[in-house]
Amino acid sequence: MGPHPAVAAIRLAVRRVLHDILSEPTTAAGVPAAAAAGRAPGPAPAPLVLVACSGGADSMALASALAFEAPRLGVRAGGITVDHGLQSGSDLRAEEVVLRLRQLGLDPVEAAAVTVGRAGGPEAAARDARYAALDDAVARHRAAAVLLGHTRDDQAETVLLGLARGSGIRSLSGMAAVSGADGRYRRPFLQVDRQTARKACMAQSLPVWDDPHNTDPAYTRSRLRHEGLPALEKALGKGVVEALARTAQLSRDDADALDTWARQAEPGVRDASGLLECAKLYALPPAVRRRILRRAAIDAGAPAGALFARHIEEVDRLITGWRGQGAINLPGKVVARRQGGRLVIRQG
């Protein structure tokens, strides 16, 4: 008899991602290029794939699937759990997760303690600290990739949060299946719902830890998960989560196409000195023009995370609604102004 349907689903999702990793450009030794960066010459070991595991149902299911599939494909499987230090006893919980990962057969396995700052709010600060720890683990272990346990439900929540921000189509694209430097972060479960991951843990008798932050109404995502999405499902039907996840992929495809268009168009709207020509910018579709303006602001020193749609709209009015208005102040002490038919964007 085959595995439980939920177990089969999570293993298939991981198998596909491991196949993708193994089929990507390799070094002469046959190791994924991202894994081989900086490695000393000599026989290369099998590529290492890490799983980021909090001990919750999603990431424990992911860890179990990686442990099962990796040796069958000639991949080494390891794990890392991040201790954010935000709850009493978090260090002990991290040790428990390390033990569980080792029991699954993962090696290497480690716990990384981080200090969470305050920039951007508690959720963003914890995320920044977590990814910094994961980046460090990738560098130290020369890992080819890190698997993250974000599910289809997480994707739906991300789309709704992006919609609430009103930041345009990119904010509706949710989380990418592949992201990070060299495509190091992989999300195998974006087409797997949260309940399937939990059922897979139950079928395998895997102990899971339910983070109290996930039910704390102080956190925006928690309120959305326990109040917002259930209300939408009640009003619109059970297909809301799947539809939002599908919207994320469609939006990502559109946003990628527009980004490519903007990159190709940008050289043609700059003069010999490199300044943006307002007349040529005006002739572009708004979605393409605003992408060029956003990139120019970031290149001048504006922090991407602090640069919102309203900032770009103000700069855009220097082109589309020019009436002699003054300079526009942007985050990072960047200033945009129109001078003689040219747009100048630089730090003040």
SS3 at position 208: coil
Cα separation of 132 and 111, whole Å?
Answer: 13
How confident is the model at residue 28, as a pLDDT? Answer: 34
- Under 8 Å between Cβ of 82 and 130: yes
Q: pTM for the complete prediction?
A: 0.83
What pLDDT digit, counting tens, does each position of 157-177 carry? 999 988 887 767 888 999 999
Side chain identity, residue 181: A
How confident is the model at residue 117, as a pLDDT? Answer: 76
Question: pLDDT band at residue 218, thresholds of 50, 70 and 90?
Answer: confident
Cα separation of 16 and 255, whole Å?
Answer: 25
How confident is the model at residue 283, as a pLDDT? Answer: 97
What pLDDT digit, counting tens, does each position of 96-113 carry? 999 999 999 999 999 998
Q: Which two tokens stand for residue 8?
A: 């089969």
Q: Which two tokens stand for residue 13?
A: 């999702």
What pLDDT digit, counting tens, does each position of 262-300 carry? 999 999 999 999 999 999 999 999 999 999 999 999 999
Output the CA–CA distances (angstroms, integers) from residue 272 to 280, 288, 317, in the order listed: 14, 21, 24
What pLDDT digit, counting tens, does each position of 136-145 carry? 999 999 999 9
What pLDDT digit, counting tens, does each position of 230-243 carry? 999 999 988 999 99
What pLDDT digit, counting tens, does each position of 147-159 carry? 999 999 999 999 9
Q: Where are the beta strands (DSSP E) in the chain?
A: 48-52, 76-83, 109-113, 145-147, 178-179, 185-186, 276-277, 328-330, 334-339, 342-347
Cα separation of 208 and 97, whole Å?
Answer: 9
SS3 at position 321: coil
Cα separation of 193 and 303, whole Å?
Answer: 34
DSSP 179-193: ESGGG-EE-TTTTS-
The packing angle between helices 152-165 and 229-236, to 10°, is 100
SS3 at position 267: helix
Burial class (CB in 10 A: 0-12, 13-18, 19+), 226: middle
Q: Which two tokens stand for residue 243?
A: 């539809």
- In the predicted model, is pLDDT for residue 26 greater than 70? no
Average pLDDT rounded to a whole number, residues 26-49: 58
Cα separation of 89 and 94, whole Å?
Answer: 9
Q: Which two tokens stand for residue 99?
A: 């033990």
69-78, 80-89, 94-103, 267-276: the lowest-pLDDT one: 80-89
- In the predicted model, is pLDDT for residue 40 greater than 80? no
How confident is the model at residue 42, as a pLDDT? Answer: 56
Q: What is the mean pLDDT of the chain?
A: 90
List all residues 6 or more positions away from 183 whose beta carbon is below 8 Å from its beta carbon: 24, 34, 145
Number of Cβ within a 10 Å radius of residue 227: 11
Q: Which two tokens stand for residue 277?
A: 């020509």
- Under 8 Å between Cβ of 145 and 137: no
How confident is the model at residue 318, as a pLDDT? Answer: 97
- In the predicted model, is pLDDT for residue 35 greater than 60? no
